[in-house]
């Protein structure tokens, strides 16, 4: 298991996992593929009954409470699907499948700009190290409702908002969405 943790800036009420090695200076030798994540941006809005995660090929978006501001983010890249929910107090947990276009899917701001490219040294590793293919993402959130519509500057302290993303490769495409914990969502109504 690979675990990365840090405080990141949510922008446009979101943080993302974005697969775009062609524009990432950290991967200058990667050939541009036939598919590009830009073909799928922005991802569609979540369907009725879901408000935390949405996905399209090469991108997963996590909806934050804050319009802009610092949030705590932990990412765990797992070998297999977790057998139980992560310990802790979580307000909502959702799960979704997505297709990675390459082995360079990086945590990013809501502007789809990888955190690894900002010089902070936060989240330097790809979450799709097994390369292109199918993955599942399980997202946990805490205190998102307490920061609704908050707009903070980058130098202000982090909000109480916290996220955990668990990611693992799968052998088959599974677009099934699952709401594993939390009340019927109301954020996007």
Check whether 188 has a pLDDT greater than 50: no
pLDDT at residue number 69: 86
pLDDT at residue number 37: 67
pLDDT in tens, 68-103: 888 899 999 999 999 999 999 999 999 999 999 888
> What does the DSSP assignment read for 133-145?
EEEEEEEEEESGG
- Residue 59 and residue 19 in contact, taking contact as beta carbons nearer than 8 Å: yes
With a pLDDT cut of 70, the percent of the chain lying above it is: 76
CA distance 2 to 41: 27
With a pLDDT cut of 90, the percent of the chain lying above it is: 31
Tokens for 38, please give them.
Answer: 């830009």
pLDDT at residue number 20: 65
Say which residue the tokens 């701001």 belong to: 109
Tokens for 2, please give them.
Answer: 């690979």
H or E element in which residue 63 lies:
strand 59-63
pTM of the model: 0.84
Phi-psi region of 49 (alpha: psi -120 to 50; beta: other; left: phi over 0): left
Mean pLDDT rounded to a whole number for the chain: 81
Closest by CA to 2, choosing from 125, 136, 121, 105, is 125
Domains along the chain? 2-181 (2.60.34.30)
Check whether 174 has a pLDDT greater than 50: yes
CA torsion through residues 132, 134, 140, 145, sign: positive
pLDDT at residue number 62: 93
pLDDT at residue number 176: 83
pLDDT at residue number 90: 95
Tokens for 118, please give them.
Answer: 């900002």
Closest by CA to 141, choosing from 109, 165, 171, is 165
pLDDT in tens, 3-27: 999 888 888 888 988 886 655 455 4
pLDDT in tens, 103-157: 888 888 877 766 665 555 567 788 987 888 999 999 999 999 888 877 877 677 7
Closest by CA to 71, choosing from 166, 165, 162, 152, is 162
Mean pLDDT of the region 41-58: 79
Bond into 15 cis (ω within 30): no
CA 153 to the chain's CA centroid: 21
């Amino acid at each position: 298991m690979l675990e990365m943790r840090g405080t990141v800036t949510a922008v446009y009420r979101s943080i993302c996992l974005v697969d775009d090695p062609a524009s990432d200076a950290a991967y200058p030798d990667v050939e541009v593929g036939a598919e590009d994540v830009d073909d799928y941006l922005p991802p569609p809005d979540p369907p009725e009954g879901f408000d935390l995660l949405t996905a399209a090929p090469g991108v997963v978006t996590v909806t934050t409470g804050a319009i802009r501001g610092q949030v705590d983010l932990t990412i765990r890249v797992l070998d297999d699907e977790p057998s139980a929910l992560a310990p802790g107090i979580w307000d909502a947990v959702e799960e979704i499948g997505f297709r990675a276009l390459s082995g360079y899917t990086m945590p990013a701001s809501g502007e789809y700009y990888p955190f690894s490219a900002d010089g902070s040294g936060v989240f330097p590793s790809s979450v799709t190290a097994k390369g292109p293919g199918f993955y599942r993402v399980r997202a946990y959130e805490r205190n998102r409702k307490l920061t609704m519509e908050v707009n903070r500057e980058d130098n202000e302290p982090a909000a109480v908002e916290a996220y955990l993303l668990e990611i693992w490769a799968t052998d088959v495409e599974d677009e099934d969405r699952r709401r594993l914990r939390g009340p019927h969502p109301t954020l996007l109504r």
